[in-house]
Structure formats: structure tokens, C-alpha cells
Structure 1
Amino acid sequence: MREIKGILFALIAGTCITLQGVINSRISQDVGTLPAIAVTQFAGFCLALIILLLVRDGKPAQLRRVKPLYLFAGAFGVFIIFNEVTSIQLIGVTVTMSVILVAQIVMAFLIDVRGWFEIEKPAFGAPQFIGVAMMIIGVLIMQF
């Protein structure tokens, strides 16, 4: 059951990432990339704040225990949106999302294999390495 729930959450996230990229690309054509980023980040902040106030999930007072570097994770959103919007405008949605997916998989693979960010290292073997290689090859085939 846990795996199914995880897959459903991942499917929703992937769908939202694609929709966000396309919508941001459209907004940036009207107002510019940086204003589109500001609007998107502000809207995300407002929604997160509303959900936090309604659900009361977590303990904001515990933020003092979080490593300062980790508190800047949301700032990656600026780089994500800028690069995603620019890429969509240059190479289209499908190729952009495919390359982003491969970049995410490769980074996740490195984080898992190296145990970065205090993540427990799972066991990896040939099937995992082959799977990552096949995804990269798939994107290259789609590009050409």
C-alpha cells in the first residue's frame, strides 16, 4: 500500500511539474521570465502558508534545528523555473521534460549512491545502472 501511495504522489508531482513549466513559459511570454518566477514563487508561498494554517502540520518552531543550508532549498525554485521556461521556449515541452527527468534521475541516483544529505544508501546493482543508462539513451533517441 505504501508503494502505491508513493507512486500516486509521484504521478501528481510529475503532472504538476509539467503543468507548471508550460504555464510559466506562457506567463513569461507576456510579462518576462523573472516576473513570471516572482508570481509563481509568491503564489506557491501563499498556498503553502494557507495549507500550513489550515492543517497545522509540523512544528515551525523546530526550524532552528534544521541545517541553515537546507533552509534555502526553496530558492532552487528560481533556478528551476528560469531554466525550465527558457528550455521550453527553445526546445519544446516534451524534450525539456525528458531532459529534466533524466537530470532528476541522475541526481537522485548520485544522492542515493553517495549518501549525500544524510540519506541512507540503498543497495544498487547492475539493473539500476542499466535503467539509468536506458533512460538517458531514450532521451537522446527522442532528441534526434
Structure 2
Amino acid sequence: MVGILFALLGGAFITLQGVANSRISQDIGTWQAAAITQFTGFVLASLLLLIVRDGRWRKVGQVKPLYLTGGALAAIIISSNITAIHHIGVTLTIAIVLIAQLGITFMIDSRGWFGVAKQKMKLAQFIGIGMMIAGVVIMKM
């Protein structure tokens, strides 16, 4: 239940962030909005780290260097979402983002990338993503 709650919160905040970034970018530009978003996220995460103080950050040397670049992906995510929202609106952007996320997760799970346990993809999962794609096509009409 906790996982579902956090997934719902994450999904809601991704949408809210996309809308806020889109509004910011209209005034100052896409990359400027991405920089502000990254900076405010860094500030909040740093403050929370100071509050938590569990010492786990000291293990950063054990993390593969490739994975440490994950934050850089956020700049691409933010600018892509901003640009998409400007062109196709919030609803269609989020729907397509979800389909893209599911498509990538299918590849990660089925191939065992990034050290995750391989999962066999079942017909029901492919039907589900197909229905989502059909839904986006219908929404676009």
C-alpha cells in the first residue's frame, strides 16, 4: 500500500512539475526553467539530507559512475516535457510519457538491464500497453 501511495504522489508531482515548468518557460525559456527546477530540487534534497543524517551518502563511492549521471537525465526530461506540453498539451503529453515509461520498463525487465531480475512479459501486459496506445490515438482525434 505504501508503494502505491508513493507512486500516486510521484505521478501527481510529475504532472504538476511539468505544468509549472511549462509556465516558467513561457516567461524565461525552456533551459532556464530546467535549470531553476534542478536547482530548487537540489536545495530541497540537500535540506532533507541534512535533516535525515543517516550517513548513507558516504557510500557514494560504491555506486557505479554511470548511475551517478542520473540527475543529468532530469534536464532532458524537463525540457522534453516542457516542449511537449507547449505543442500538444498536458493530457496528451502525460499519456505519451506514461506509454514511453512502460515501453522502456518492459525492455529493462525483460532483458534484466541495470541489474534488475529478468521478468517474462506476458500477453496481458502487451495488450494493456496496446490499449493505452489506442487510448492516446483516440484522444488525439
Task: Say if 1:10 and 1:58 are closer, same or farther in 2 by CA, change over 3 A.
Answer: farther
Alpha-carbon distance, 1:40 to partner: 0.5
**Equivalent residue for 1:14?**
11
Q: 2:28 aligns with which of 31, 34, 42?
A: 31
Counterpart of 1:104 (choices 101, 106, 110) is 101
In 2: Cα distance, 1:135 partner to 1:58 partner: 42
Q: After the TM superposition, which residues 1-144 of structure 1 pair with which residues of structure 2 at under 5 Å, given as runs?
A: 4-57=1-54, 59-144=56-141
| Deviation digits for residues 87-127 of structure 1 (CA, Å, limit 9, x no counterpart) | 10111110011100110111111111111100012233111
* Deviating more after overlay: 58-67 vs 5-14: 58-67
Gaps of 5+ in 1: none
Coordinate RMSD, CA, aligned: 1.1
Q: Distance in 2 between matches of 1:58 and 1:109?
A: 34
Structure 1 runs of 4+ aligned residues shifted over 4 Å read none
CA offsets 1:26-80 (integer angstroms, 9 cap, x no match): 0001111111111100000000000011012451121111110000001111000
Q: Distance in 1 between matches of 2:87 and 2:55?
A: 40
Structure 1: distance between partners of 2:15 and 2:106: 21
TM-score, with normalisation over the residues of structure 1?
0.94
The Cα shift of 1:131 comes to 1.2
CA distance in 2, matches of 1:140, 1:15: 23
Q: Specify whether residues 111 and 140 from structure 1 end up closer, same or farther in structure 2 by C-alpha distance, changes over 3 A only.
A: same
Distance 1:69 1:10, change over 3 A: same
| Equivalent pairs, count | 141
